[in-house]
Amino acid sequence: MAHALADMAEEVDRIDRAIVPRSERAATPDDFHDALVDLMAAFAHLDSRLHDAMRSDPA
């Protein structure tokens, strides 16, 4: 579970430091679209890791 939480923290940091700023400074609709696609993928990754952590929780 600790590994899943650490992975999730890294993904949230990547969203905050890379993806959101990229979407804010997008110069074209395509740039903005690419940032949104990356954001959706990051949230899907977070969701997957959350479900993995819940399955591995012995409680």
Q: Check if the beta carbon of residue 42 is closer than 8 Å to that of residue 34.
A: no
How far, in Å, CA of 21 to CA of 11, rounded? 14
Q: What is the pLDDT of residues 3-58, one digit of tens each?
A: 888 999 999 999 999 999 999 999 999 999 999 999 999 999 999 999 888 887 66
Structure confidence at residue 55 (pLDDT): 81
Inter-residue contact 26 to 32 (CB < 8 Å): yes
Backbone phi, then psi, for 28, in 5-degree steps?
-135, 160
Q: What is the pLDDT of residue 42?
A: 98
Residues 8 and 42: beta-carbon distance below 8 Å = no
Task: Write down the domain spans for the chain.
Answer: 2-56
